[in-house]
Structure 1
Amino acid sequence: MKLLPLAGYAGLAAAAAYDSQIPLHGEPGHAAPAGTSAKGKIVDSKELQDTIRPENLMERARKLYAIAKLSEDEHNHPTRVIGSAGHNGTLAYIHAVLAELGDYYTVSSQPFPAVSGGIYESRLVIGQEVPASATPMGLTPPTKGREPVFGKFSLVANNGCQASDFPHAVEGSIALIRRGECPFGDKSALAGKAGAIAAVIYNNEPGSMSGTLGTPQPDHVATFGLSKEEAEPYVAELEQGKHLDGIAYIDSVVNTITTNNVLAQTKGGDPENCVMLGGHSDSVGEGPGINDDGSGTISLLEVATQLAKFEVNNCVRFAWWSAEEEGLLGSDYYVAQLPAEENLKIRLFMDYDMMASPNFAYQIYNATNAVNPVGSEELRDLYVNWYEEQGLNYTFIPFDGRSDYDGFIRNGIPGGGIATGAEGVKTDEEVGLFGGKAGDWYDPCYHQLCDDLGNVNMTAWEVNTKLIAHSVATYAKSFDGFPTRTPSEVSMLSESRAYTPKYHGNRLVM
């Protein structure tokens, strides 16, 4: 892996602190003095949990929001999207906090290329109608010349996953393709190879569709997603041989930039047996991301700060991933660079993304050993047992590739995590378990400008940060009873994981 030492970020931290006129240091009294290490006392779960204070979490949130405001000149609103001043300031803040912990951690930066995209304008017209559900795919290229393109619609056979599915009539037309079987990016590329001027992929199940084309390919064409309900009448017309004209327009940009993961590993503890945990440092371009995933970023920083008061038996490795919102790019890159022997040193990975949703539920990823690397279920049960010990309700959510655990479990590393909910709708049953409002999103400001300081539930945030502390302390102290790893796990994944999940990050990929 290519890692840069902390010293390489000193100038960035200083510049960010000066430019924003806000302190980027940790709060006094949080940890051992700079230049010292904790001595003598092995970490204890209850004692580490007792160090977590909601006022410390909120103080860090205020700093993160001020950092997000550094992007206002460029983006016209606060954001911490990769490449922005707000994200650069976030990385600087993480480094600065860790630097104040003295020599407790080895801190490094891992640069990598990340693809980012933006949609400036878009419009889809089918016949005489403008379908309300038409949404440009993430990382879609623009239409030719960034101008509207005109053509008839051509219906693609089957699911548009083979070149033979695209009739000769697709050339010069707008390809209408059913979702299913293969990733959206493959469908768009095949449409481009067939000569389509644009593509529309319609849902094969009820509802609209917000997807991404994923890694750019030379043959991708401007591509929209469309709901099943709005698509069905058009599909029927084309199946009857009727002519259907359309206009497609997307003004977009897809760029490759360099961004950085931040890693901090305890100098103490067995380096052959590492507890690893992470959250992502970036937000979407639409807002400051104080809950998504400022809450996870801050929880990890606070736990890392308080852990410096203790010694550990097993090494602990914290990670702040970049470009998660672009499709889990930072965590995927990190795992892909791991040599097999380094992979095996990671006994488990714990994902902490969105710890403080306003309309929260205590959610545990339903990671089982039957379909994931062995040890994932034991981690899941640690969360279950802790919530039950606190007298708190919890619910299981799919372990479906939506967050940074995905690269780890795909490479044989046990994984899991907790969350408090994103754009999912809270049910009446969940209101009985957790309170809140039925029919609303768990986070009503998910991926929006209002994901700011008013968009966090402090009760949930404190509870889940204590659970993070418990997970770290438990495995930093001992892996007794936790499954050992074998080299075969690195190279041979379970057959049930050998498929492309519907999600890779927050957007559908197929």
Structure 2
Amino acid sequence: MVLAKLTVALALLGEASAIQLPLSLPKIPHIPNAVTERKLVDSASLQERIDPDNLLARAKALFEVAGASVDEYNHPTRVIGSEGHRGTLDYIYETIHGLGDYYHISRQDFPAVTGNVYESRLVLAHDVPKSAQPMGLTPPTKDRQPVYGSLGLVSNFGCAESDFPDLTNKIAFISRGTCPFGTKSELAGKAGAVAAVVYNNEEGPLSGTLGTPTPDHVATFGISDKDAAPYLKQLRHGENVDGIAYMDAVVNTITTTNIIAQTTEGDSENCVMLGAHSDSVEAGPGINDDGSGTLSLLEVATQLTNYHVNNCVRFAWWAGEEEGLLGSDYYVSVLPADENRKVRLFMDYDMMAGPNFAYQIYNATNAANPVGSEELRDLYIDFYESNGLNYMFIPFDGRSDYDAFIKNGIPGGGIATGAEGIKSKEEEEMFGGQAGVAYDPCYHQLCDDVSNLNLTAWEWSTKLISHSVATYALSFDGFPERTEVEGKTLLGAPTKYHGHLLHM
């Protein structure tokens, strides 16, 4: 019945052809938001409406949605292009549509590049480097068969054609640094290489993405500095190092969708905007990453309908974040300059419920980012301090969907509870949990399911999201005015991250 009503409603709106519904949706939990008489929004009142039981009910429904992908992927996932992600989009849309005329809701389709590595193997000098990992969006080896060749050492950082010798039928061996991994792979292909290995020039393993595909990309692996060291020594002494590379992978272009919901009331010239990403990685259902942010926004959007707002509030659910911030990049790239100026700030909410959490604030300063970013950072600080909670700063380095906004003049910031980073002893004392263990031990894994959520962290994170929305929906008094934006002027130096993977 829910599905039938939704289909009819969409048809009346002339949008039925724009949404592809799965055969069935799980029963969507009823979240109380009975509106009696609306009053002007205030932070304390909105925060009181945040109930962790509502969040958990939504998480269970989302995990059931992820299960729609089992037939294709053999496990639940919400990766773009999957039934699980299409179901996620339907779930978000139906939830917002069910709130009546409080929001204008739209779907923004865009092309997205997605890839999958089914099997890979790298052998160097009869050894299998333990750290070897396929780069994201890597193509397969020729005919999806093993290729054989000696290692060809590339000069400098492999960022110019002159760095590459003739690599015909060889495997390029390239240092990380200076330019994107995609550039290194492309130049290796142009030099005749049958595959490429990028080795870390910093301590630790190397996991990255090639980014936008080109015809010259070759199958590309990343390995650690430690694993690379003996081969580098041999090559620099003129010794031969044989290798075998195998990659069974696909790279496809699909169409996926952002969902945008904006309040029908409030000053449309002064919008507070916030977002979370609706997709997961292929490896798992992504109930913390970023199901938690997705559902926090849905819950705040639901409870906000009890209030009037002075400034418009715009919620966004981005697709393709895990493939390299594709949805948020696209949204900002097509946003006209006059519409850009209406967005007073953008707030990013990615991973709100880490099981071994720390309360993390992006260290967004006005010196390095659009003016207003620091004022948003200070709002988060004040919230944690006023509630007697500890917090820590994390780099504002392009790892999530704020990136396109700050590069195009829009102040930004956000909070998180931690991903693959390891909690320190000091942080254990500050936040509890366990030192020496990742903030989210199930980050980008199959076990990122409903059991991978800390409800205490999730409740406080969602209350802070409510506080940020209520504060700016009420007033921008004291918040810096937007500076003029002429076209699409990129700010600052390129970031080494573009999404969760390194790209340079």
- Listed as ranges, the gaps of 5+ residues in structure 2 are 1-9
Query: For residue 53 of structure 1, what is the amino acid of its counterpart?
Result: D
Which residue is 2:171 aligned to?
Answer: 174
Which residue is 1:78 aligned to?
Answer: 76
Query: For residue 138 of structure 2, what is the amino acid of its counterpart?
Result: T
Which residue is 2:323 aligned to?
Answer: 326
Displaced runs of 4+ in structure 1, greater than 6 A? 11-14
Cα distance in structure 2, aligned partners of 1:251 and 1:493: 37
Cα distance in structure 1, aligned partners of 2:57 and 2:15: 23
Which residue is 1:501 aligned to?
Answer: 495
Give the alignment's TM-score, normalised by structure 2: 0.96
Which residue is 2:344 aligned to?
Answer: 347
Which residue is 2:56 aligned to?
Answer: 58
> Against the structure 1 CA distance between its residues 304 and 409, is the aligned structure 2 distance closer, same or farther, given a 3 Å change threshold?
same
Query: For residue 504 of structure 1, what is the amino acid of its counterpart?
Result: H
* TM-superposed deviation, 1:19: 2.1
Select 1:114's aligned residue among 108, 112, 115.
Answer: 112
* Residue 264 in structure 1 maps to residue 268 in structure 2: no
Which residue is 1:278 aligned to?
Answer: 275
Which residue is 2:437 aligned to?
Answer: 440
* TM-superposed deviation, 1:490: 5.8
Cα distance in structure 1, aligned partners of 2:224 and 2:13: 50
Cα distance in structure 2, aligned partners of 1:306 and 1:5: 27
> Against the structure 1 CA distance between its residues 62 and 246, is the aligned structure 2 distance closer, same or farther, given a 3 Å change threshold?
same
* TM-superposed deviation, 1:474: 0.2
* TM-superposed deviation, 1:41: 1.4
Matches within 5 A, 1:42-57: 42-57=40-55
Q: Are the aligned partners of 1:107 and 1:265 in contact in 2 as well (CA < 8 Å)? A: yes
Which residue is 2:87 aligned to?
Answer: 89
**Quick one: percent identity of the two aligned structures?**
66
* Residue 225 in structure 1 maps to residue 231 in structure 2: no
Cα distance in structure 2, aligned partners of 1:30 and 1:287: 31
> Against the structure 1 CA distance between its residues 445 and 362, is the aligned structure 2 distance closer, same or farther, given a 3 Å change threshold?
same
Which residue is 2:127 aligned to?
Answer: 129
Cα distance in structure 2, aligned partners of 1:272 and 1:404: 22
Cα distance in structure 2, aligned partners of 1:412 and 1:28: 37
Number of aligned residues = 495
* TM-superposed deviation, 1:29: 2.8
* TM-superposed deviation, 1:448: 0.6
Cα distance in structure 2, aligned partners of 1:349 and 1:226: 36
Tell me the SS of whatever aligns to 2:120: strand
Q: Deviations over 1:327-367 (max 9, x none)?
A: 10000000000010000000000000000000000000000
Cα distance in structure 1, aligned partners of 2:209 and 2:287: 24
Q: Deviations over 1:217-274 (max 9, x none)?
A: 1110110001001101101111111111110110000000000000000000000000
Which residue is 2:7 aligned to?
Answer: none
Q: Deviations over 1:25-72 (max 9, x none)?
A: x5153244xxxxx86511000000000000000000110011111111
Tell me the SS of whatever aligns to 1:454: helix
Query: For residue 29 of structure 1, what is the amino acid of its counterpart?
Result: P
Range that drifts further, 4-13 or 200-209: 4-13
Select 1:19's aligned residue among 6, 12, 24.
Answer: 24
Cα distance in structure 1, aligned partners of 2:98 and 2:464: 24
Tell me the SS of whatever aligns to 2:39: coil
* TM-superposed deviation, 1:199: 0.5
Cα distance in structure 2, aligned partners of 1:209 and 1:99: 43
> Against the structure 1 CA distance between its residues 417 and 436, is the aligned structure 2 distance closer, same or farther, given a 3 Å change threshold?
same
Root-mean-square deviation (CA), in Å? 1.6
Q: Deviations over 1:349-400 (max 9, x none)?
A: 0000000000000000000000000000000000000000000000000000
Q: Deviations over 1:180-219 (max 9, x none)?
A: 0100000000001111111000000011001000111111
Cα distance in structure 1, aligned partners of 2:202 and 2:306: 52
> Against the structure 1 CA distance between its residues 426 and 28, is the aligned structure 2 distance closer, same or farther, given a 3 Å change threshold?
closer
> Against the structure 1 CA distance between its residues 428 and 490, is the aligned structure 2 distance closer, same or farther, given a 3 Å change threshold?
farther
Which residue is 1:35 aligned to?
Answer: none
Matches within 5 A, 1:371-386: 371-386=368-383
- Listed as ranges, the gaps of 5+ residues in structure 1 are 33-37
Cα distance in structure 1, aligned partners of 2:180 and 2:17: 42
Query: For residue 58 of structure 1, what is the amino acid of its counterpart?
Result: L
Which residue is 2:309 aligned to?
Answer: 312
Select 1:429's aligned residue among 423, 426, 431.
Answer: 426
